[in-house]
Structure 1
């Protein structure tokens, strides 16, 4: 029986989902023995204390959330170690990391499609997950000719969740409105929401807020509830467990990074508004949102507003950056993706629920977007997926 020492933050939704995945893998290979070690233990006793604990318990491996990694000290244990990277990735150990850059790109594309022209990022200084999410967000919006306002919380590591209401409030008040604000994670998104309430800044009319991790508790204690990017965390934990097993049994000997990918955006009230300036385009966007699952043609959309087809298509592209056809298809693909990983609908039923009448067509389009077939995508990203489905 493998003995795994867990040095991580057990209070966050991210870490809990990560542990779910690790435990899921451990049950497949025979129950492992886990020893939790709270982060404060390292603060009190330092890394030497962690090493002594691991030796006394005779741990076979460690999964740790460390801001700085003392490789020489940890290597003294001569056991596999997976580190949830914090300040940077370390080539000497296996990193549990993420596609942070493309998480930022996903956030930018979401807001751009909703018509935003003002953008802001609130992050934590010194953390790679915050820095690279900001880079992806900035890259995508600057590519479209817009600028990004940035504020970083630069408190010390042990105070990273504390913040100065006055500094944050003054910054939020100074931003041009309406503004699309992407926060590095849900903790920071909640800080924005709380500060907006204190300073009577309307969410989402003045500031639309999007976080990361989809921590259900944090997102829903916010007023209004926070939209957030869902990450493939539980499967990341499962893969971390698998990697640890291979390292323990010497199937592999070199460090190997596990990348947690962004999947979908869980939309809540903090981003429910469109920021387009043209009221007719707002009408069209709202109509698509309510009717995407039905037969929806450009001809039908033209009937909803006092515009010719040519004028409507031109204005729509100006406001959203996409053609009507592209926007509808992208919207439906997003909904189809959501159903694949959150429901047990058959592939055919999920396609119909998303507005696709021809499953063969949606399968072809989906593969173009995701580089996987719908069945392959579901198998990879839906937790506890065991359904074998046939592609038609």
Structure 2
């Protein structure tokens, strides 16, 4: 029997998905027991709370601890002689194993999404209190800087999930000063929902004046929003599964190595909060609408030219000026993203998915896929849908 102490607030979609993956592995191998300790925000770095956790672990005879703590005495935790995995909050914890994330890459994904939609005004809303918000902001702003853009920034002093004490009047004033239209990336869905709520009382139209994108794809929060929130989907469940699998191996081998499990962004769940484009050029806007509404991007360039009554040279010139890449490259990337999304949402064989989406040249599709995702379609599906990999374990990730 393996006994695991679970420390979490258990209220966020992220924590629940992590536990789902963790429990899925435990049910596959069987004979695991859990002791749940719900934590408040104050407990995350409270030394008294940590001593209570250690006391319970020792009295219960826990074999391992997985939880959400920060700024902890790692030597004290390690002294009890059992594996400990901590979910990042304020910072990554040195000297202990971490469940962390590609927060920087999540910010880059958000920036690329808005850039493809033609936006030239950008904003970020988050908190300076957590590493995942700080690094998402960094990834977002760095990617924008690469193309000569910048973002307006508003950071709360603490995570608004744990209270409604943030100065909403100051946030409202900041939002009202943003140029229209602006693409806003929020550090998670709680912050994104706060934005749409404040917009609702500020006569700011979403997405016409302000497009809003969150993180976590918390379906309750996203659909509570008016309009519903677009959100970046993370590979959380698979991360929990891999954490449990690795923890099991460590307990059996009676070793205490340090490791990081990195949870990556997968895709964007598109809803109405980011509907539309910020493109002033009517030719380019017409082309974008045709590409993204005609059967997963399978419209040909010739058909686009005929529908818009324009020459290839003229459209190409306009498209490159507005979007920054050729129309052919845009179509190819969009088709590949549709294929990638279908790999995770369908149980059909990969070749069947390709043909169902109208892709006749599977070899060329695979080449494009590897260029964008750095893995084959089979590896991508195994990695994100089925968890059949150990490559997310990065011992040297700090």
- Give 1:352-367 correspondences, 5 Å limit: 352-367=355-370
SS of the counterpart of 2:268? strand
What residue is the counterpart of 1:155 in the other structure? 158
Q: Aligned partners of 2:69 and 2:118: how far apart in 1?
A: 39
What residue is the counterpart of 2:215 in the other structure? 212
Checking the alignment, whether the CA contact within 8 Å between 1:351 and 1:357 is kept in structure 2 is yes
Shift of 1:368: 2.2
SS of the counterpart of 1:163? coil
Question: Within the alignment, does 1:33 sit opposite 2:33 as a pair?
Answer: yes
What residue is the counterpart of 2:65 in the other structure? 62
Cα–Cα, structure 1 residues 319 and 160, in superposed 2: closer, same or farther, change >3 Å?
farther
Shift of 1:160: 5.9
Q: Aligned partners of 1:252 and 1:324: how far apart in 2?
A: 54
Checking the alignment, whether the CA contact within 8 Å between 1:7 and 1:63 is kept in structure 2 is yes
What residue is the counterpart of 1:316 in the other structure? 319
- RMSD, matched Cα: 2.0
Q: Aligned partners of 1:169 and 1:181: how far apart in 2?
A: 14
Shift of 1:385: 7.8
Checking the alignment, whether the CA contact within 8 Å between 2:89 and 2:132 is kept in structure 1 is yes
Shift of 1:273: 1.2
Shift of 1:156: 7.0
Cα–Cα, structure 1 residues 78 and 234, in superposed 2: closer, same or farther, change >3 Å?
same
Q: Aligned partners of 2:97 and 2:27: how far apart in 1?
A: 22
Task: Name which of 114, 119, 122 aligns with 2:122.
Answer: 119
Question: Within the alignment, does 1:22 sit opposite 2:22 as a pair?
Answer: yes
Checking the alignment, whether the CA contact within 8 Å between 1:7 and 1:65 is kept in structure 2 is yes
What residue is the counterpart of 2:342 in the other structure? 339
Checking the alignment, whether the CA contact within 8 Å between 2:238 and 2:387 is kept in structure 1 is no
Q: Aligned partners of 1:185 and 1:28: how far apart in 2?
A: 31
What residue is the counterpart of 2:396 in the other structure? none
Shift of 1:249: 1.8
The TM-score, its normalising length taken from structure 2, stands at 0.92
Checking the alignment, whether the CA contact within 8 Å between 2:297 and 2:331 is kept in structure 1 is no
Task: Name which of 93, 97, 101 aligns with 2:100.
Answer: 97
Structure 1 unmatched ranges of 5 or more = 387-392
Cα–Cα, structure 1 residues 155 and 132, in superposed 2: closer, same or farther, change >3 Å?
closer
What residue is the counterpart of 1:144 in the other structure? 147
SS of the counterpart of 1:304? helix
What residue is the counterpart of 2:90 in the other structure? 87
The TM-score, its normalising length taken from structure 1, stands at 0.94
How many corresponding residue pairs? Answer: 386
Checking the alignment, whether the CA contact within 8 Å between 2:126 and 2:191 is kept in structure 1 is yes
Q: Aligned partners of 2:4 and 2:324: how far apart in 1?
A: 49
What residue is the counterpart of 2:5 in the other structure? 5
SS of the counterpart of 2:308? coil
Question: Within the alignment, does 1:374 sit opposite 2:377 as a pair?
Answer: yes
Checking the alignment, whether the CA contact within 8 Å between 2:136 and 2:187 is kept in structure 1 is yes
Q: Aligned partners of 2:203 and 2:369: how far apart in 1?
A: 42
